[in-house]
Structure 1
Amino acid sequence: MIGNKKMKSVLWQALKQPQRMWTKCSREYVGPWRKVSKMNHEKLIKSFEQFADRMFTVAEGKDSEVIKVCPGWNVNDLMAHVGRIYGAVTSVIESKSIERPTTPFPTPPESSQREWAMGNFSSLLEAIKQTDPDTPLWTWGKDQNMRFFIRRMAHETLLHMRDVESIDGEFFEVDGDVACDGIDEYIDGALQHSMNPNKEFTYPDGSIHLHRTDGKGEWLIKPFGNEIVVTREHAKGDVAVRGSALALLLYLWGRNPQGLEIFGEPDLAQAWGSLAP
């Protein structure tokens, strides 16, 4: 693990350059850092609705269709997955509690998983719309309030909408800025294993630069043992991956999308694209 003295030196060098913006500092170091601005609350809710509607529409009649980008899953499996998540998050929101829930995830029925998931989505959407976004709540992330779940559910649904769409290859157009927010959310959450605190993994041995090609957005991720330092800047990494915000987001979640350019070590790029839980 990187020592405090070395980490402070790294952070100080970055903080001297005002164009850089921190998404996360090492847990060993507590100091000044600025959050990346998060997408408008209402826009994320609207996106969540759109993605879910599209996902359920495309999934209709495809219960046993295999989802190649999700090995071992068919559409029924994916519907059961999102239904369990929607149901569990609804319970947390309705509890208005800051304590970790003790109730298990809901169990999907043996059939009609799509209809069950749709019902859980409707309940979740209603709970979201009826709850102030700043309401304190238990979450598995850093932000302990309602806004965390709105953001997480929007990007979770975007990802699985794309999974279902991959069966026929007809894709809904996704706002690049929404996908860009998904990259920030991934880096600040799943990449720093807050989504699965019990999972042990090691960061790849080399830095990566992500470059968005359809708007503003660049990230340099440097590993230091089991910590990372992330800056938003144009800089050279050991490997660079260029593409649209959506392509970069899908890459980070291990979906191997088309339209990416890789400069540097392909194996390193593959390693960074294989960390998602």
Structure 2
Amino acid sequence: MTAQESHATPPGPLQGALDHERYCAELLAETERLRAALRGADLTAIVPTCPDWTLAELARHVGGAHRWAGELVATRATDLISPADVPGAAGPDDDSPEALDAWLVEGAERAVAALREAGPDAAVWSWSPDHRAGFWARRMAHETVIHRADAALAAGADYVVPPELAADCLDEWLQLCALPEAAGRWAEHADGVFGPGRTIHLHATDSPTGLHAEWILDLTGDRLAHRRAHEKAAVALRGPLTELLLALYRRRSVDDTGIEVLGDRSVFDAWLDYASFS
């Protein structure tokens, strides 16, 4: 099975493009990249994209999420487990950078061990419609991708995401935004977001051969519909894949990137104001 082939599971709203082992491997790799961004940084520095956190608190959030997801999978949880009930999820007792670094490694390795042992189709509780261990492999890989961006932007570190992973991360974000639960949660912010002619085209200009990295966000109904496609839209954004991902996740303003905006930018700006889980 190639990296771009999905595991043979029933199609669903959160189906990913990569296989289970690839997500597990990327979770480990992204944790290593996060550790590299934190190494030598001022861990008391405020994270501009998550201003309620310092870098140390960001790292504890990521490592805690790894441990929580790993516990859900290892126990084959059928209901929510409180993160407060997961041993070690709050972080290391020692506040030193070395202790935090070792804690991050241990949490990611534990999560991946549980995910690999379970396999993608093991039944596990999740807050999404996808109640399989495979959901958590993908979710934790992408959770780490995005929070690594937070760390890199705060620490002034380089930020590069493997193209297939970045494209799938953008896919997952759109899939989450399209869930009925998201539409219900954001309903009070929907004025001016949806309506006739309101479409967005995302076009990655640096995607490798064989990776079709173009998306249409169709806002003409009462909630998001999306597809990978090359079509005319009310507004088009053209730029590097990683920059498109950061823009969609509101980690970097389009004005601070190499993204070219063609058409009615207000359509995209309205979408950004609407689509946020923060």
Q: TM-score, normalised by structure 2?
A: 0.77
Match for residue 220 of structure 1 among 216, 222, 225? 216
Q: Name the CA shift for 1:52/1:34 in 2 (closer, same or farther; >3 Å).
A: closer
Q: How does 1:1-277 map onto structure 2 within 5 Å?
A: 38-61=17-40, 62-97=42-77, 99-105=78-84, 106=86, 108-109=90-91, 112=95, 114-115=100-101, 116-192=103-179, 198=185, 200=187, 202-203=189-190, 204-205=193-194, 206-215=198-207, 216-224=212-220, 226-256=222-252, 258-274=257-273, 275-277=275-277
**How far 1:208 moved relative to its partner?**
1.2
Q: Is residue 252–residue 272 contact of structure 1 (8 Å, CA) maintained in 2?
A: no
Deviations 1:142-195 (A, max 9, x none): 322111111111111111112111134332432112101111111111453657
203-212 or 86-95: which moved more?
Answer: 203-212
For 1:95 and 1:53, locate their aligned partners in 2 and report how far apart those are by CA, in whole Å.
Answer: 26
Structure 1 residues 235, 75: CA separation in 2 closer, same or farther (over 3 Å shift)?
Answer: same
Aligned residue identity for 1:211? H
* Deviating more after overlay: 143-152 vs 236-245: 236-245
User: CA–CA distance in 2 between the matches of 1:223 and 1:168?
Assistant: 36
Higher relative contact order (CA 8 A, sep 6+): 1
CA distance in 1, matches of 2:165, 2:80: 29
Contact 1:142 1:194 in 2 (8 A): no
Kept in 2, the 8 Å contact 1:83–1:117? The answer is yes
Paired with 2:186 and 2:106, the residues of 1 have a C-alpha distance of 31
2: CA distance, partners of 1:218 / 1:89:
31
| Structure 2 alignment gaps of length 5 or more | 1-10
CA distance in 2, matches of 1:187, 1:236: 19
1:241 and 1:66, CA in 2 relative to 1: closer, same or farther beyond 3 A?
same
Percent identical across equivalent pairs?
25
Q: Report the AA paired with residue 100 of structure 2.
A: R
What are the ranges of 5 or more consecutive residues in structure 1 without an aligned counterpart? 1-31
Q: Point out the structure with the larger helix share.
A: 2
The residue aligned with 2:5 is none
Q: 1:168 to 1:80 in 2, by over 3 A?
A: closer
Amino acid at match of 2:154: I
Greater shift, 107-116 or 159-168, is seen at: 107-116
